[in-house]
Homo-oligomer: A and B are copies of this chain.
Amino acid sequence: MPIVTVLQGPRDTELKRDLVARITDAFVDAYKIPADSVQVWIQETAPENWSVSGKLIADAK
């Protein structure tokens, strides 16, 4: 019963709907486990709460 968490910036629901279906398929195909054993939790993070190279994404835009 794998639990997946995704740290990412905000995205449209349509894109997230597609993503979680594909991630779940990845487990079904790679591990041969049923889809209903896979949970995906997306933790959307605002650009002022996330950095690369020590700079907030909000400042890099």
* Residues of A near any B CB (own CB < 8 A): 1-8, 11, 13, 15-27, 29-31, 35-36, 38-45, 48-56, 58-59
Q: For the complex formed, measure the closest distance between the CB of A52 and the CB atoms of chain B, giving whole angstroms.
A: 5
The answer on a CB contact under 8 Å between A49 and B45 is no
14 contacts between A and B (CB under 8 A): A2-B7, A3-B7, A4-B4, A4-B5, A15-B30, A16-B49, A17-B56, A17-B59, A20-B56, A22-B25, A23-B23, A38-B52, A38-B54, A42-B50
Q: For the complex formed, measure the closest distance between the CB of A48 and the CB atoms of chain B, giving whole angstroms.
A: 5
Task: Please give, as numbers and ranges, the residues of chain B lying within 8 Å of A43 by CB-CB distance.
Answer: 43, 45, 49
Q: For the complex formed, measure the closest distance between the CB of A1 and the CB atoms of chain B, giving whole angstroms.
A: 7
